[in-house]
């Protein structure tokens, strides 16, 4: 299951990452999410886009997966704002951040986060990251424990050395998810409706606008991919994490939230024929394999982060979109236990 996710991530980098910031149409458009947009210099000639939703209480920094930007949290940032001061950081090479030719290894990108913490004068914030952001979080928790208070992994704590392909082999038998048709790309709203219909949740408007080109008539086309230099650097960094994988022990409090199905219905997709016995059988196999995979990764993580806690949520990989209230509850529980 994990390998399948990584392959999807790598493929997404080639297709959807915009190298020139957010595409705009002829009409002026304003991001509806009430955040400030800051730009923090992390090294000469490199600035990161930082979103500040405000709020009071402990600071929490949100890190998106790859190829997403901080705008993936445009909705969830408002959910957290009632309890915390919420920031989101777009890593180098993506969205509104600078696109240098180098610096795409995870240690360098973890250092970028430290620079943001220092430049904004944040007092040991909590870092909450989704998917591939787990790699930056491992480094922050192991090497820079004095700079952060804790880590919240949003379906991001996986042992990349786990080579099991049992889940993938069964998943490939099942019907593939439908791609958006021309009518689904007629506007941002049409694509959001498609996402809700197929996946049950929709990405925020600014996130979609960052991954697509907005044409003059409001329709969407895939955005241009990154330059070959950036593309190769990102791919190389990802591939390196999947070989000789042995992160250093984490030395701050941590909680890992996993998207784990609890019943067959959690895996029965809208495009499946639920009455087909073969599909029912394969989905039942997937459920067993998914839960076995979760158990392996959770056990691995608790060894990596002694004293950490794990929790399972029956939701989508984008837990903060599919199950925002459950994620908020888990974060509140974690934050209240911090000294």
- pLDDT attached to residue 101: 86
Instruction: Note the pLDDT of residue 25.
Output: 44
pTM: 0.91
User: For residues 73 and 62, what is the distance between their CA atoms, to the nearest angstrom?
Assistant: 8
Helix (H, G, I), strand (E, B) or coil at 250: coil
| Whether the bond into 71 is cis, omega within 30 of 0 | no
pLDDT of residue 237: 78
Give the Cα separation of 336 and 72 in Å (integer): 25
The whole-number pLDDT of residue 32 equals: 87
What pLDDT was estimated at residue 69? 94
Q: What pLDDT was estimated at residue 162?
A: 87
What's the CATH fold of domain 2-168+225-337? Answer: Rossmann fold (3.40.50)
The per-residue pLDDT for 26 is: 36
Residue 247 in contact with residue 41, Cβ under 8 Å?
no
Give alpha helix (H) positions in 57-187: 76-81, 106-119, 134-143, 166-171
CB 155 within 8 A of CB 319: yes
**pLDDT attached to residue 23:** 41
What was the pLDDT predicted at 274? 92
The domain spans of the chain are 2-168+225-337
Quote the Cα angle for 13-203-62, to 5°: 75
Write out pLDDT tens, residues 247-297: 999 999 999 999 999 999 999 999 999 999 999 999 999 999 999 999 999
- What is the pLDDT at residue 233? 84
**Parts of the chain with a pLDDT under 50:** 2-26
Summarize pLDDT for 99-125 with one digit per residue, the tens. 998 899 999 999 999 999 999 999 999
């Amino acid at each position: 299951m994990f390998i399948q996710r990584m392959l999807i991530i790598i493929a997404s980098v080639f297709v959807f990452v915009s190298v020139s910031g957010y595409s705009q149409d002829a009409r002026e458009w304003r991001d509806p999410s009430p955040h400030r947009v800051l730009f923090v210099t992390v090294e000469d000639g490199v600035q990161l886009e930082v979103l500040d939703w405000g709020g009071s209480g402990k600071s929490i920094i949100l890190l998106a997966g790859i190829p997403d930007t901080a705008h993936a949290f445009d909705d969830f940032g408002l959910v957290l704002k009632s309890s915390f001061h919420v920031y989101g950081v777009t890593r180098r090479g993506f969205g509104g951040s600078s696109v240098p030719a180098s610096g795409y290894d995870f240690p360098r990108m973890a250092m970028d986060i430290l620079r943001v913490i220092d430049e904004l004068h944040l007092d040991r914030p909590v870092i909450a990251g989704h998917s591939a952001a787990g790699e930056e979080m491992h480094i922050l928790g192991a090497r820079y424990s004095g700079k952060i208070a804790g880590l919240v992994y949003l379906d991001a704590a996986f042992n990349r050395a786990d080579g099991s392909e049992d889940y993938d082999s069964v998943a490939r038998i099942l019907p593939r998810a439908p791609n958006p048709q021309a009518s689904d790309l007629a506007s941002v709203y049409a694509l959001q409706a498609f996402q809700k219909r197929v996946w049950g949740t929709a990405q925020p408007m600014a996130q979609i606008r960052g991954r697509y080109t907005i044409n003059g008539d409001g329709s969407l086309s895939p955005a241009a991919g990154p330059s070959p230099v950036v593309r190769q650097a990102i791919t190389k960094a990802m591939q390196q994490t999947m070989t000789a994988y042995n992160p250093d022990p984490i030395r701050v409090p941590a909680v890992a939230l996993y998207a784990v199905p609890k019943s067959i219905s959690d895996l029965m997709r809208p495009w499946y024929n639920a009455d087909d016995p073969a599909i029912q059988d394969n989905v039942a196999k997937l459920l067993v394999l998914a839960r076995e995979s979760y158990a392996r990764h959770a056990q691995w993580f608790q060894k990596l982060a002694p004293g950490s806690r794990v929790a399972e949520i029956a939701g989508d990989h984008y837990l903060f979109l599919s199950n925002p209230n459950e994620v908020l509850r888990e974060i509140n529980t974690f934050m209240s236990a911090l000294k």
